[in-house]
Amino acid sequence: MSEAKHERLGLERQQLQGMLQTMLTARKIDERMWLLNRAGKIPFVISCQGHEAAQVGAVTALRPDEDYLLPYYRDMGMVLHFGMTVKDLMMAGFARAEDPNSGGRQMPGHFGSKKHRIVTGSSPVTTQVPHAVGFAMAGKIKKENFVCLTSFGEGSSNQGDFHEAANFAGVHRLPVIFFCENNHYAISVPVDRQIACERVSDRASSYGMHGETIDGNDPLAVYEAVKNAADRGRDGAGPSLIETMSYRLTPHSSDDDDRSYRSRDEVDDARKKDGIVTFTEYLKTRELLTDTEEKDMHDAIQQTIDEATEAAEEAAYAEAETTLDHVYHS
């Protein structure tokens, strides 16, 4: 038998289980949030489901104590890896004062934590992408060696900000990883109504950067592509555009009904290729995960989520007076 992919990449049992654990944690938080939303307890959910493998593969290739993350709203798997906790995310879901992202001021999925090197973002898609260029430029001027990964959907790759940022990063050879999580739909608009080229990564060459498209359901393939991109960035070889192909398993958000634009067969088919399913299978086949370990992992995550839900439900909203805080320096 030829060398397994994880061996070639130098990833060991513990790391691989850690990747699965983060993927599963993101999935289960999201599932819990849908339940809470349908029960009328939280106002909104915007899901990571179907993207976890791509997200966790990508961030495993980064250095969370050194690199910067400028994510978009689906990237729960990424922010967990960078240090955000289940409780943090639940506090955000419930919009509580203890939400470390924004103290309950932003929607769920609007991640930001200076401590964890996650740069705060906003709702208009793609607007975080030029900030990654600024962060990377700051690092280049100060001769620091970090890379910035900024992520977005394929829909966002049509916004001016993507092109302005990619062009800028290309011209200045900045260590930015443009990470496009292609899930085939911009809410309801399918990819062939969004872009005229075959792949988003085809656009990389216009900006003088490396581009490739990989299977977003395979966290190891994503790890490899992002690792290479990060190495290039640290070596001064400039930015990269990595496009992952996966599928959004839920509607766009808790306010969307995808039955009007996607067949159930298509969604069911995507579920079979779900990275959580296939990666679990990969680990089990290679005896990197036992049934007991898998069960313990599920139970532990579930317990953490239960505790976090309870804590967040009991936590308070921000005080009314704090609305006026932090608009300007004081």
Partner 1 sequence: MVSPAVNTKKMTMIEGVRNAMDEMLKENEDVIILGEDIGVNGGVFRATEGLHEKYGEDRIIDTPISESGIIGNSIGLAANGFRPIAEIQFLGFIYPGFNQLMTHATRLRQRSLGRFTVPVVVRAPYGAGVKAPEIHSDSVESLFTHMPGIKVVVPSNAYDAKGLLIASIDDPDPVMFLEPLRCYRSNRTEVPDGKYTIDIGRASVLKQGDDISVFTWGAMVMDTMKAIETLEEEQNMSCEVIDLRTLYPLDKETISASVQKTGRAAIIHEAPATGGVSNDVISLINDTSFLYLRAPIQRVTGFDTPVPVYSLEQEYLPSAAKIQAAIVNAVNF
Residue 316 is a binding residue for partner 1 (CB under 8 A):
no
Tokens 């088919």 belong to residue: 269
- Within the chain, strands assigned E span 68-70, 148-153, 176-182, 185-186, 189-190, 210-215, 240-245
The stretch near partner 1 (CB under 8 A) out of 6-14, 165-173, 184-192, 221-229 is 165-173
| CB contact set of 180 (below 8 Å; sequence gap of 6+) | 151, 152, 153, 154, 156, 157, 200, 201, 241, 242, 243, 244
Provide, for the chain, the percentages of residues in helix, strand and coil under a 3-state DSSP scheme, each rounded to the nearest 5. Answer: 50, 10, 40
Smallest gap from Cβ 3 to partner 1, in A, equals: 40
C-beta of 40 vs 160, nearer to partner 1: 160
The stretch near partner 1 (CB under 8 A) out of 16-24, 137-145, 209-217, 292-300 is 137-145
Give the residue numbers annotated as catalytic, written as ranges. 248, 252, 261
**Is the Cβ–Cβ distance between 230 and 67 less than 8 Å?**
yes
C-beta of 68 vs 185, nearer to partner 1: 68
Q: Per-residue contact track with partner 1, 142 to 161, x per CB under 8 A?
A: x-----------------xx
Tokens 């579930």 belong to residue: 302
Residue 130 is a binding residue for partner 1 (CB under 8 A):
yes
Binders in 179-198 for partner 1, by CB under 8 A: none
Residue 110 is a binding residue for partner 1 (CB under 8 A):
yes
Smallest gap from Cβ 77 to partner 1, in A, equals: 22
Q: Per-residue contact track with partner 1, 57 to 96, x per CB under 8 A?
A: -----------x----------------------------
Cα angle 176-119-141, degrees, rounded to a multiple of 5: 50
Binding test (CB under 8 A) with partner 1, winner from 119, 147, 177, 245: 119
Three-state SS for 276? helix
Amino acid at 107: M
Residue 173 is a binding residue for partner 1 (CB under 8 A):
no
Q: Give the pairing of strands 240-245 and 210-215.
A: parallel
Binding test (CB under 8 A) with partner 1, winner from 5, 41, 105, 234: 105
C-alpha span between 77 and 226 (Å, rounded): 15
The stretch near partner 1 (CB under 8 A) out of 81-89, 125-133, 196-204, 237-245 is 125-133
C-alpha span between 310 and 70 (Å, rounded): 29
C-alpha span between 276 and 278 (Å, rounded): 6
Residues that bind partner 1 (CB under 8 A): 68, 101-103, 105-106, 110, 112-115, 119-120, 122-124, 127, 129-139, 141-142, 160-161, 164-165, 167-168, 171, 325-329
